[in-house]
Chains A and B, each alone.
Chain A
Amino acid sequence: MSGPNTGTAAPSSQNMSTRPANGPQDWDMGTKTLLDLERLDGYVAELAVSDDGGHAAAVVEKSPEERIIAVDNQPWEPALEKAWSLRFTSDGRAFALVRIDDEWTIMVDGTPWEERFEFAWNPKLAGGGKVIGVQTKSDMQYSVAVDGKLWDARFLSCRDYALSPDGSRVAAAVQIEELPEADVFKFLEGTWTVVVDEEPWPRKYLNVYTPIFSLDGKHVAAQVRTDATDYTAAIDNQPWAQVFTCIWEPRYRTGSDVLLPVRQQGGWFLAQNGKILWPSKYVQLWHACVSPQDERIAAVVATAYGRWTVAVDDVPWKTTFSDMVAAPVFSPDGHKVAAAVKHDGRWSIAVDGVPWMPTFDMVWEPVFSPGGESIATIVKENGKQSLVVNGRVHSRSFDRLWAPAFSPTGKQILLRGVDGTRVIREVIATTEV
Chain B
Amino acid sequence: MDLQDQAVLDRGIDEGLEKLTPERIEKVIRHVLDNESAARLKVYLETCVHCGLCSEACHTYLSRDKDPDFAPVAKVKDTLWEMVKRKGRVDKDLLRRSARIAFTECGACRRCSMYCPFGIDIAYLIMTVRRICSLLQIVPQYLQDTTNSHAVTSNQMWVQADEWIDTLMWQEEDARDSFADARIPLDKEGAEVMYSVIAPEPKIMAQLLGNMAVIMKAANVDWTMPSADGWDNSNMAMYSGDFEVMGRVERAHWERARALKVERVVMGECGHAYRGAVYDGPKWLGWQKPPIPMIHAVEFYYELIHSGRLKIHRKITEPVTVQDPCNIVRGRGLHHKLRYVVNALCENFTDMDPRYEHNYCCAAGGGIINCGPPWKLSRMKSIRVKAEQMAATGAKICITPCHNCHSGIEDIIGHYKLGMHVSFINELLVKAIAEPQG
- Does A121 belong to the interface (CB within 8 Å)? yes
Contact B187 A302 (CB under 8 A): no
- Does B292 belong to the interface (CB within 8 Å)? yes
With both chains docked as a complex, state the minimum distance between the C-beta of B405 and any C-beta of chain A, in angstroms: 24
Contact B141 A324 (CB under 8 A): no
- Does A266 belong to the interface (CB within 8 Å)? yes
- Does B165 belong to the interface (CB within 8 Å)? yes
With both chains docked as a complex, state the minimum distance between the C-beta of A172 and any C-beta of chain B, in angstroms: 12
Q: A182-B141, A322-B288, A323-B291 are in contact. Are A11 and B161 (CB under 8 A)?
A: no
- Does B437 belong to the interface (CB within 8 Å)? no
Contact-size category for B? 35 or more
Contact B259 A302 (CB under 8 A): no
A364 contact set on B, CB distance < 8 A: 261
Contact with B along A379-409 (1 / 0, CB 8 A): 0100101000000000000001000000000
Contact A9 B187 (CB under 8 A): yes
- Does A30 belong to the interface (CB within 8 Å)? no
Contact B285 A121 (CB under 8 A): no
Residue of A187, A248, A302, A324 near B292 (CB, 8 A) is A324
B388 contact set on A, CB distance < 8 A: none
CA–CA, A188 to B151, complex, Å?
A: 12
Residue of A12, A119, A305 near B165 (CB, 8 A) is A119
Contact with A along B111-152 (1 / 0, CB 8 A): 000000000000000000000000101010110110010011
Contact with B along A200-213 (1 / 0, CB 8 A): 00000011000000
- Does B91 belong to the interface (CB within 8 Å)? no
Contact A229 B244 (CB under 8 A): yes
Residue of B144, B173, B217, B285 near A64 (CB, 8 A) is B173
- Does B87 belong to the interface (CB within 8 Å)? no
Contact B258 A229 (CB under 8 A): no
With both chains docked as a complex, state the minimum distance between the C-beta of A245 and any C-beta of chain B, in angstroms: 6
A-binding residues in B (CB < 8 A): 11-12, 15, 35-36, 135, 137, 139, 141-142, 144-145, 148, 151-153, 160-162, 165-166, 169, 173, 176, 181, 183, 185-190, 192, 216-217, 220-224, 226-229, 242, 244, 247-248, 251, 254-256, 258-261, 263, 285-289, 291-293, 372
Provide a sorted-by-A list of 22 A–B residue pairs whose CB atoms are within 8 angstroms: A2-B216, A5-B189, A85-B186, A119-B166, A137-B162, A159-B161, A159-B229, A182-B141, A184-B144, A192-B152, A228-B137, A229-B244, A246-B248, A266-B36, A283-B286, A286-B251, A306-B289, A323-B289, A324-B292, A345-B293, A362-B190, A362-B261
B-binding residues in A (CB < 8 A): 1-3, 5-12, 43, 45, 64, 82, 84-85, 118-119, 121-122, 135, 137, 142, 157, 159, 175, 181-185, 187-188, 192, 206-207, 225, 228-229, 231, 245-246, 248, 263, 265-266, 283-284, 286, 302, 305-306, 308, 322-324, 326, 342, 345, 361-362, 364, 380, 383, 385, 400
Q: Which 4 A/B pairs are nearest by Cβ-Cβ distance?
A: A306-B288, A7-B189, A284-B286, A324-B291
